[in-house]
C-alpha cells in the first residue's frame, strides 16, 4: 500500500515537472520566438522605454540563454504593484551575479507613457529593464503568458531553461527570494 502511494506521488511529481517545463521543451525542440522590434519608443532626455505589442513582447517570455528571468507585470496606477517594485529592484541587484535578470513590464495605458510612466521611472531611479506591453487584445495574449492568469496585476513570471513559475499576487521580498531559489534549485 505504501509503495502504491509512493508511486502515485512519483507520478504526480513527474507530471507536475513536465507541465512546468513544457514551454521550455517546446522552445528547445526548435520552435523559435521571432525577435520583433518594438513598435515605438518613448523618450524623455536620456531615458528611453521600448513599447511592444504582444508579438514583439513574446521574446521576453522565452529567452533560452541560461539566465533566469523575473518578469513582473505592473503599472504606475496599480498601488500594490508600485509597493513591491523595490523588492524586484533589490532582487535584481542581489542576484545579478547569479544570472538573474529582472524585467519590469509596464501595462500603463496608451497615451499616459509620457505623462505618467517616464516621470515615474526617472523619479524612482529604476535600475531594472523597463518595457511597455501595449496590446489591447488582452483576451488573446493573457493566456499566452500563463493559462491561469485572470489578468489582475501585480503578476510575476519567473523562468529559466527548465522551469517556469507564475504568481498572480503581491509578493514580499522574502516570497520573491524563496520562489527564485526554488526555481533555480529544481533543475
Sites of contact with another protein (CB under 8 A)? 2-3, 5-6, 9-10, 12-13, 16-17, 19-20, 75, 77-80, 107, 109-111, 136-139, 142-143, 146-154, 163-170, 179, 182-183, 186
Per the CB < 8 A criterion, the answer to whether 84 and 117 are in contact is no
Kindly state the cell numbers that stand for 60: 521576453
At closest approach, how far in Å is the CB of 142 from another protein?
A: 4
At closest approach, how far in Å is the CB of 9 from another protein?
A: 4
Torsion of CA 150, 87, 61, 122, to 10 degrees: 100
Closer residue to another protein, CB minimum distance, 43 or 178: 178
Closer residue to another protein, CB minimum distance, 41 or 109: 109
At closest approach, how far in Å is the CB of 158 from another protein?
A: 9
Alpha carbon 67 to its chain centroid, in Å, reads 13
At closest approach, how far in Å is the CB of 182 from another protein?
A: 5
Torsion of CA 134, 43, 87, 169, to 10 degrees: -10
Closer residue to another protein, CB minimum distance, 75 or 104: 75
Nearest to 62 by CA among 106, 24, 100, 20: 24
Closer residue to another protein, CB minimum distance, 32 or 150: 150
Map residue 107 onto helix, strand or coil.
Answer: coil
Amino acid at each position: 500500500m505504501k509503495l502504491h502511494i509512493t508511486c502515485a506521488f512519483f507520478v504526480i511529481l513527474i507530471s507536475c515537472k513536465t507541465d512546468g517545463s513544457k514551454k521550455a521543451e517546446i522552445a528547445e525542440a526548435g520552435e523559435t520566438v521571432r525577435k520583433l522590434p518594438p513598435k515605438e519608443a518613448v523618450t524623455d532626455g536620456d531615458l528611453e522605454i521600448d513599447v511592444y505589442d504582444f508579438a514583439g513582447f513574446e521574446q521576453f517570455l522565452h529567452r533560452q540563454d541560461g539566465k533566469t528571468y523575473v518578469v513582473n507585470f505592473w503599472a504606475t496606477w496599480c498601488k500594490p504593484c508600485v509597493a513591491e517594485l523595490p523588492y524586484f529592484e533589490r532582487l535584481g541587484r542581489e542576484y545579478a551575479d547569479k544570472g538573474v535578470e529582472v524585467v519590469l513590464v509596464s501595462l500603463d495605458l496608451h497615451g499616459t507613457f509620457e505623462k505618467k510612466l517616464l516621470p515615474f521611472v526617472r523619479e524612482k531611479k529604476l535600475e531594472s529593464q523597463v518595457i511597455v506591453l501595449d496590446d489591447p487584445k488582452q483576451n488573446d495574449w493573457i493566456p499566452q503568458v500563463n493559462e491561469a492568469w485572470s489578468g489582475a496585476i501585480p503578476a510575476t513570471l519567473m523562468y529559466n531553461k527548465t522551469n517556469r513559475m507564475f504568481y498572480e499576487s503581491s509578493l514580499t521580498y522574502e516570497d520573491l527570494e524563496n520562489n527564485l531559489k526554488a526555481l533555480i534549485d529544481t533543475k
